């Protein structure tokens, strides 16, 4: 686990004239689960979106597997091997589960094998293939969003608050799924407000405050840090 897969260097990002990210440095090694925690509005989603090229970085670099992807259009970034599960899932409500999954597939020759793999991972989706996305429960929609991202056979999965708004049992399942996906060799960059769960899962973690990386360390070290416990773990 010592080859850098994602390397974000001195990244700035803006909405119009408002700068949100300030000199952000983050890396994800091959095989790691890296978590980013931080308060609402800190800039976590903006970081994932900037990695995907929308909005474009205004300064700094993003390297993926050694390639400079900073200026690439989003579809080329996805083709390079990054899949993004945005906050709020954004599945296609009026398409079936099967149609949603087909939208995530980049190479038709892999469609069948990928479908079999995601149905293996999410038997609930297999049972509901013909059901419209919008009729699924929140947890099932989150599973569908993750499954759709996996259809592109990514090397790196960017997950934006996958546990948000889900019942405790479903939260537990989602975190188990993330761990399982990672064991299959997919690196994970996970944004979470559920810091307790997320830090337990993470090999390493970063804390973002007002668009800057404030702290980093192993998941365990951060979960034992008194400042982190007070601010994010409610201890
Ligand atoms: N599309 C947008 N246009 C303008 N400002 C935005 C937009 N999206 C987010 N912001 C602002 O950028 C900041 C960071 O937001 P965001 O990245 O969503 O934070 P987080 O994901 O950590 O909650 C916030 O102040 C937010 O209001
Ligand atoms: Mg967010």
DSSP state of 3: S
Segments of the chain assigned to CATH 3.40.50.300: 4-81+154-232
Strand order in the sheet with 212-218: 82-85, 156-160, 187-192, 33-38, 204-209, 212-218
Would the CB of 13 count as within 6 Å of ligand 1?
A: no
- Tens digit of each residue's pLDDT (9 = 90 or more) over 47-92: 999 999 999 999 999 999 999 999 999 999 999 999 999 998 889 9
Would the CB of 162 count as within 6 Å of ligand 1?
A: no
* Total residue length of the chain: 235
pLDDT exceeds cutoff 60 at 1: no
Q: What is the CATH number of domain 4-81+154-232?
A: 3.40.50.300
The CA 108 to ligand 2 mean position distance, Å, reads 32
- Tens digit of each residue's pLDDT (9 = 90 or more) over 10-53: 999 999 999 999 999 999 999 999 999 999 999 999 999 999 99
pTM: 0.95
Would the CB of 165 count as within 6 Å of ligand 1?
A: no
- Tens digit of each residue's pLDDT (9 = 90 or more) over 114-151: 999 999 999 999 999 999 999 999 999 999 999 999 99
């Amino acid at each position: 686990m010592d080859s850098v897969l994602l390397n974000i260097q001195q990244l700035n990002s803006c909405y119009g004239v408002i700068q949100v990210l300030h000199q952000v440095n983050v890396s994800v090694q091959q095989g790691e689960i890296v978590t980013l925690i931080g308060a609402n509005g800190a800039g976590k989603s903006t970081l994932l979106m900037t990695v995907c090229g929308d909005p474009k970085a205004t300064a700094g670099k993003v390297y993926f597997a050694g390639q400079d992807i900073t200026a690439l259009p989003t579809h080329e970034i996805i083709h390079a091997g990054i899949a993004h599960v945005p906050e709020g899932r954004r599945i296609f409500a009026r398409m079936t589960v099967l149609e949603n999954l087909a939208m995530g597939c980049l190479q038709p020759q892999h469609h069948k094998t990928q479908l079999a793999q995601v149905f293996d991972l999410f038997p609930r989706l297999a049972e509901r293939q013909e059901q419209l996305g919008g009729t699924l429960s929140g947890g099932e929609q989150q599973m569908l969003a993750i499954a759709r991202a996996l259809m592109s056979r990514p090397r790196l999965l960017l997950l934006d608050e996958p546990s948000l708004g889900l019942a405790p049992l479903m939260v537990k399942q989602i975190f188990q799924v993330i761990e399982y996906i990672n064991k299959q060799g997919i690196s994970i960059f996970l944004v979470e407000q559920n810091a307790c769960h997320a830090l337990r899962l993470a090999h390493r973690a970063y804390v973002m405050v007002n668009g800057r990386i404030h702290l980093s360390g192993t998941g365990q070290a951060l979960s034992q840090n008194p400042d982190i416990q007070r601010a994010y773990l409610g201890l």
